[in-house]
């Protein structure tokens, strides 16, 4: 399990199926956590007691991340990245291959 405030650490944890507690400080972090349906595992470090944070960590460790939902979300992300590659990068390099 992971407890972090950095968005990329939380994204990596989610991607590998590692349960996490996100310590909020940036709206982008909240948006990501909400987009993967883990809003129960966000806490404001300035407003949350250590005991409550530990309780959340224990709960996320027990519950884990639903494998099928994670697989679907990662598939959607891969598809979106592929679309970006096709639309922008492929068209940008076409003139060099003519």
Query: 78 with 58, same domain?
Result: no
Q: What is the domain range of residue 88? A: 66-98
Domain match, 14 and 43 both: yes
51-68 pLDDT, tens digit per residue, is: 999 999 999 999 999 999
pLDDT in tens, 8-53: 999 999 999 999 999 998 899 999 999 999 999 999 989 999 999 9
- One domain for residues 59 and 74: no
Q: Check whether residue 61 and residue 71 sit in a common domain.
A: no
Computed from CA positions of residues 69, 71, 74, 75, in that sequence, does the dihedral angle turn out positive or negative? Answer: negative
Structural domains in the chain (count) = 2
Per-residue burial over 6-15, b = 16 or more CB atoms within 10 Å of its CB, e = otherwise: ebebbbebbe
CB 33 within 8 A of CB 80: no
Tell whether 57 and 16 lie within a shared domain.
Answer: yes
State the pLDDT at residue 49: 93
Predicted confidence at residue 39, as pLDDT, reads 94
- What is the rounded CA–CA span in Å between residue 85 and residue 78? 11
| CA dihedral over 64, 48, 22, 31, signed as positive or negative | positive
Q: How far lies 94's CA from each of 13, 59, 79, in Å?
A: 36, 51, 22
């Amino acid at each position: 399990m992971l407890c972090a405030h950095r968005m990329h650490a939380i994204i990596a944890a989610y991607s590998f199926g590692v349960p996490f507690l996100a310590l909020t400080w940036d709206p982008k972090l909240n948006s990501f956590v909400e987009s993967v349906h883990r809003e129960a595992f966000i806490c404001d470090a300035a407003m949350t007691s250590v005991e409550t944070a530990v309780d959340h960590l224990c709960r996320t460790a027990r519950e884990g991340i639903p494998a099928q939902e994670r697989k679907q979300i990662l598939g959607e992300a891969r598809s979106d990245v592929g679309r970006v590659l096709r639309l922008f990068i492929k068209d940008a390099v076409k003139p060099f291959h003519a």
